[in-house]
């Protein structure tokens, strides 16, 4: 059960493991271990067994996986981690990720928790109660894909499907010490997502390492993601707050990781910059949030009861007051950033900076200390992650260290549009450079 996704798949394909026994063992582990992390909010053994009985001999034949509460399933509508839905009621159905998993032979073993409405980077608010970080259950697991991150880190499953609109796969990957891929926009299936008009959100994998993300990501992409050895890699680092306004431990660990990577691939590191950086945080939030505004009306917001969190009720009101000129400017910043990034990627192969500015904050007080001050994690995190969603480029978070408090630290890498495979190649090189120390590390709860 602690094997990687690809090891489980290989054992099942080769007849060295029994898929029904693996499913039962996984359900048993969820029952035993999930109460400590609240990562899985729903299981449905009969539906899982039916999936297994009908599973084709695909690349994930018989492998149990979890899926975020953001995707409809034929037997369950998504709830978005919220007690009350705003807008058209969700309905059961065959979402793209469901179909992709089914057609690959995978078995969906549970629905994973998420930050309420997907509107947070911490996972500390959910109608199901917060998911908890397996490295320290009093800490945030990251959001909004909090359940997928915590579920893998606690080794309830070997892989999970999340979604990333402003960093929502990469935050839990960094906080929980796993590998999370935010694919190029449009490359992974988004069929059935409640924000049908999105230009920022993508589905993506959260797994132990890059090879597992390659396997699960390939299923979501509907294609095999080839690998090759990165050679003479040109790594770009961006001066300023992306590196400097971080917890010093994070900055140091990520710099060491970049240097280890450079050494492994025989590459170079160069400082580069892109235009519009000062507006990326606000532009990525505004573009992401306003894509959902079409479903919002004052009447619907007013109808949200107290079972919806105070924060959500307040934020949904606040969103109705966003000046149109700010949204228009945000879209122009998007154009500026995309053009500038395209120019930057003529000179470097990947960009690198810390995935999050500080390790996982406490659930009771999700604020982080960085050199410029103490802020809500939700305020600082989009600065690090939002650009990939704003521009559409792929990004990956790779575990590279642990803090003095024993919490995981993640390095983020970004690549040009469509170069998701390169990111996976580079992440594998980084794992190798670190002797796989961080990808194979187990939290105490899973040891």
Do 161 and 151 touch, CB atoms closer than 8 A? no
> Is 83 a binder of another protein (CB under 8 A)?
no
CB 254 within 8 A of CB 244: no
- Which of 48, 144, 146, 397 is catalytic? The answer is 144
Which residue from 51, 140, 333, 377 is in contact with another protein, where contact means CB under 8 A? 333
CA dist 374 and 41 (Å) reads: 32
d(CA 383, CA 241): 9
Q: Give 33's strand partners.
A: none
Q: Does 243 bind another protein (CB under 8 A)?
A: no
Site membership for another protein, residue 234 (CB under 8 A):
no
- The residue among 110 and 392 lying less far from another protein, judged by its C-beta, is 392
Assign residue 167 a region: left if phi > 0, alpha if psi is -120 to 50, beta otherwise? left
Instruction: Determine whether 447 is an active site residue.
Output: no
Q: Which stretch binds another protein (CB under 8 A): 100-108, 203-211, 306-314, 429-437?
A: 306-314
Q: Is 442 in the site for another protein (CB under 8 A)?
A: no
Closest approach of Cβ 284 to another protein, in Å? Answer: 11
144 binds another protein (CB under 8 A): no
Using H for helix, E for strand and C for coil, what is the string for 167-224?
Answer: CCCHHHHHHHCCEEEECCCCCCCCCCCCCCCCCCCEEEEEECCHHHHHHHHHHHHCCC
Contact map string, positions 409 to 428, toward another protein, x by CB under 8 A:
-------xxx----------
Going by C-alpha positions, the residue among 383, 384, 278, 287 that lies closest to residue 334 is 287
Give the residue, chosen from 200, 203, 284, 434, that forms a contact with another protein under the rule CB under 8 A. Answer: 200
Q: Quick check: is 168 catalytic? A: yes
User: Would you say 74 or 418 has its CB closer to another protein?
Assistant: 418
44, two tokens: 């449905």
Written as six digits, the tokens of 220 are 């979501």
Residue of 126, 168, 188, 203 marked active site = 168
What CA–CA distance (Å, rounded) separates 141 from 123? 6
Binding of residue 197 to another protein (CB under 8 A)? no
Helix (H, G, I), strand (E, B) or coil at 414: strand
Query: Of 17-25, 27-35, 85-93, 325-333, which segment contacts another protein by CB under 8 A?
Result: 325-333
Residue 323 touches another protein, criterion: CB under 8 A: yes
Using CB under 8 A as the binding rule, whether residue 376 contacts another protein is answered as yes
Q: CB count, 10 Å around CB of 76?
A: 19
Residue from 266, 298, 435, 444 touching another protein (CB under 8 A): that is 298
- The verdict on 293 binding another protein (CB under 8 A) reads no
What DSSP letter does each residue of 333-353 carry, written as one string?
A: HHHHHHHHHHHHTTT-SEEEE
Residue the block writes with tokens 């929980």: 176
Question: Is the Cβ of residue 283 or residue 357 nearer to another protein in the bound state?
Answer: 283
Active-site residue 144, yes or no? Answer: yes
In the block, which residue shows the tokens 């509508």? 77
Q: Which is nearer to another protein, 139 or 334 (CB)?
A: 334
Shortest Å distance, C-beta 313 to another protein = 6
Residues that bind another protein (CB under 8 A): 184-187, 199-200, 278-279, 281-283, 285-286, 298, 301-302, 310-311, 313-315, 317-318, 320-323, 325-326, 329-330, 332-336, 338-339, 342, 345, 375-376, 379, 391-392, 416-418
Annotated catalytic residues are 68, 144, 168
């Amino acid at each position: 059960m602690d094997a990687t996704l690809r090891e489980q798949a290989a054992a099942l394909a080769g007849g060295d493991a029994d898929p029904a026994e693996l499913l039962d063992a996984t359900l048993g582990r969820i029952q035993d271990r999930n109460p400590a992390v609240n990562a899985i909010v729903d299981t449905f053994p009969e539906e899982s067994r039916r999936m297994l009985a009908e599973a084709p001999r695909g690349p994930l034949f018989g492998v149990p996986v979890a899926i975020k509460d953001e995707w409809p399933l034929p037997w369950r509508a998504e709830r978005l981690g919220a007690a009350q839905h705003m807008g058209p009621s969700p309905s059961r159905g065959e979402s793209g990720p469901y179909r992709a998993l089914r057609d690959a032979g995978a078995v969906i073993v549970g629905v994973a928790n998420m930050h309420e409405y997907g509107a947070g980077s911490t996972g500390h608010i959910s109608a199901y109660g917060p998911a908890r970080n397996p490295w320290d259950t009093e800490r945030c697991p990251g959001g909004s894909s909090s359940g997928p991150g915590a579920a893998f880190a606690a080794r309830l499953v070997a892989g999970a499907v999340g979604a990333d609109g402003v960093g929502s796969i990469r935050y839990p990957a960094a906080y929980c010490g796993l590998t999370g891929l935010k694919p190029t926009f449009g490359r992974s299936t988004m069929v059935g997502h409640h924000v049908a008009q999105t230009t920022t959100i993508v589905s993506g994998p959260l797994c132990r390492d890059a090879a597992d993300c390659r396997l699960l990501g390939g299923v979501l992409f509907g294609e095999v993601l080839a690998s090759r050895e990165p050679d003479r890699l040109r790594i770009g680092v961006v001066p300023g707050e992306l590196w400097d306004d971080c917890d010093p431990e994070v900055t140091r660990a990520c710099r060491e990781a970049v240097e280890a990577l450079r050494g492994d691939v025989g590459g170079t590191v160069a400082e580069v910059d892109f235009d519009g950086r000062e507006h990326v945080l606000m532009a990525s939030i505004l573009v992401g949030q306003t894509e959902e505004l079409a479903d919002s009306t004052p009447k619907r917001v007013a109808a949200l009861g107290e079972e919806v969190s105070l924060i959500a009720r307040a934020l949904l009101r606040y969103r109705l007051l966003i000046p149109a000129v700010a949204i228009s400017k945000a879209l122009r910043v998007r154009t500026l950033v995309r053009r500038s990034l395209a120019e930057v990627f003529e000179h470097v192969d990947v960009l690198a900076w810390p995935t999050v500015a500080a390790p996982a904050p406490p659930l009771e007080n999700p604020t982080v200390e960085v050199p410029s001050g103490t802020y809500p994690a939700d305020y600082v995190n989009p600065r690090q992650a939002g650009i990939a969603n704003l521009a559409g480029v792929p990004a990956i978070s790779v575990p590279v260290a642990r803090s003095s408090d024993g919490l995981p630290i993640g390095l983020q890498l970004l690549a040009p549009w469509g170069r998701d495979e390169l990111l996976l190649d580079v992440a594998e090189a980084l794992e190798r450079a670190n002797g796989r120390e961080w990808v194979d590390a187990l939290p105490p709860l899973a040891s």
